[in-house]
């Protein structure tokens, strides 16, 4: 190789090495890029908070023994249906203290048989899903309710209550209204869809149930809470002897 050729080779080689070194310096000055996101550094998505009433479930009617036991420790919508006056407090106290002797009849059996079918109709037409949970009120674990259906949609929580009847209603029976208002209080609901199906000899009269929306009535709720607390106090006094 000629001297000129050797010198040229050395210059070319030195230039290649310098270029490689410069490239390494440029590359090393850049922050490394991860191949995938680091889970520790990614921002976790915040789960939507559960509706408040779902934290107040005490039992479920699918476990009938546990559900009945939980109901016996408080005042339910069934109890409140009888709380029309101050005088009715003693009747409810006696029923709670001694226990109900009523175990059902052909009419209640028919109601239990028809309720899933009516609940399906409610779900398809109003989006209110069946519910079997026993809830307690926000301010008292002794104020209890098991609505037949519930959903969150629009401005607040909506409930459903299902009834079967052998007679035509000119107006909604007052005891059923008290049940509805009590359930609204316990759940914190604003409206209830009361659905009823009339039957004759246990055969539905109409192709579809009848229904009516019942709005929350805080004045009625206030009265029912006061009477229910009187029942609880009287039961506590009997327990103390």
Long-range Cβ contact pairs of 25-30 (< 8 A, separation 24 or more):
none
Q: Are 159 and 128 in contact, with CB atoms under 8 Å apart?
A: yes
* CA gap 141, 232 in Å, rounded: 12
State the residue for tokens 């479920």.
Answer: 60
* CA gap 235, 9 in Å, rounded: 108
**187 contacts: CB under 8 Å, gap ≥ 6:** 53, 135, 145, 147, 150, 157, 159
| CB burial of residue 42 (10 Å; 0-12, 13-18, 19+) | exposed
Sign of CA dihedral 229, 231, 233, 239: negative
pLDDT digits (tens, 9 = 90+) for 21-70: 444 444 444 555 554 555 555 556 676 677 889 999 999 999 999 999 99
pLDDT digits (tens, 9 = 90+) for 137-193: 999 999 999 999 999 766 789 999 999 999 999 999 999 999 999 999 999 999 999
Residue 108: pLDDT band (50, 70, 90) is: confident
Domain architecture of the chain: domains with CATH: 57-240 (3.90.320.10)
Strand partners, 152: 157
pTM of the predicted model as reported, rounded to 2 decimal places: 0.78
């Amino acid at each position: 190789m000629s001297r000129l050729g050797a010198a040229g080779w050395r210059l070319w080689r030195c230039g290649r090495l310098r270029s490689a070194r410069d490239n390494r310096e440029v590359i090393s000055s850049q922050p490394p890029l991860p191949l995938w996101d680091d889970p520790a550094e990614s921002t976790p998505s915040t789960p939507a908070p559960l509706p408040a009433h779902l934290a107040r479930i005490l039992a479920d009617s699918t476990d009938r023994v546990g559900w009945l036991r939980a109901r016996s420790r408080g005042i339910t919508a069934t109890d409140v249906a009888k709380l029309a006056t101050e005088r009715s407090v003693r009747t409810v106290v006696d029923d709670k203290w001694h226990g109900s002797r009523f175990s059902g009849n052909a009419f209640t059996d028919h109601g239990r048989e028809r309720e899933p079918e009516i609940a399906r109709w409610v779900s398809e037409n109003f989006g209110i899903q069946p519910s079997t949970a026993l809830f307690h009120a926000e301010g008292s674990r002794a104020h209890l309710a098991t609505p037949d259906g519930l959903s969150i949609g629009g401005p607040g929580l909506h409930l459903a209550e299902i009834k079967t009847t052998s007679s035509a209603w000119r107006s909604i029976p007052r005891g059923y209204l008290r049940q509805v208002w009590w359930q609204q209080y316990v759940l914190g609901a604003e409206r209830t869809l009361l659905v009823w199906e009339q039957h004759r000899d246990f055969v539905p009269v109409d192709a579809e149930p009848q229904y009516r929306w019942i709005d929350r009535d805080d004045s009625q709720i206030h009265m029912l809470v006061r009477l229910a607390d009187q029942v609880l106090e009287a039961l506590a006094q009997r327990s103390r002897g």
